[in-house]
Amino acid sequence: MKYTFYIILLFGIFNVNLTYAQNFPKSGDNFPNPRLKKFTGIWVSTQGIDTIKIQFNFENIKLPMNMTADALVGYILYKKGDQVIENTIKDAHLKYECGKSSMIIGVNDLEGNLTGWIRDGQTSQSFKYEFIPSSDLNTMTAVLQLSERIYVNEKPGKGYPNEMVFRRE
C-alpha cells in the first residue's frame, strides 16, 4: 500500500512539474511545496454522531528513485458516537516512513485545492478526495472523487462520508 501512495504522489508531482517546467525529474530531485505548511494542524468534521479528526503534519518524504517531496501526512481519529472506528492520530508523532499514517496529500493545484488519498482501515481501500479550503483557511471541504479508488482486499464496512466539512481546531 505504501508504494501505491508513492506512485500516485509521483504521478501528481510529475504532472504538475511537466505542465509548468517541461523538465523530467531525475534521481536526487526534491519537489518542495512550502504552501502546504499553512494546512498543518488539527481539523475536525462532525456529521450527526460521526466525528472525524485529522492531524496534518508537513514532511519532506522519500520517494522512489532517490527523490523527495514535501507532503502533508495525515493521521485520523474516526468516532461514531463513543465508538472508535479508526485511530491513527495516536501515531502522529511518527514520521511517514513508519507507515502508520492514514493519508497523504502532495499536490496543490493552481486554485489552492489539495488532492490526497485517505486509506480506510475499515474497508482496506484508499479513496481519493479533493480538499477545498476556504479563503480564510479556517474551514476545508473534502469531496470524494468517485471515479478514483484503489481496491486492496476489499472488505465490507462503512468507510468515510462522500463529503466532509472540516474546521480548524
CATH number at residue 88: 2.40.128
Kindly report, residue by residue over 32-73, the tens digit of the pLDDT.
Answer: 988 899 999 999 999 999 999 999 999 999 988 899 999 999
Strands 30-31 and 67-80: parallel
Position 96 pLDDT exceeds 50: yes
Q: Are the C-beta atoms of 57 and 72 separated by less than 8 Å?
A: yes
Domain residues for 31? 2-168
Nearest residue to 16 (alpha-carbon basis) of 40, 36, 42, 2: 36
- The one-character DSSP state at 121 is T
Residue 77 C-alpha cell reads as 481519529
Number of domains into which the chain is organized: 1
Report phi then psi at 136, rounded to 5.
-90, 0
pLDDT band, residue 18 (cuts 50/70/90): very low
* Average confidence (pLDDT) over 118-135: 84
The residue whose grid cell reads 513508519 is 98
pTM of the entire predicted model: 0.78
Position 153 pLDDT exceeds 90: no
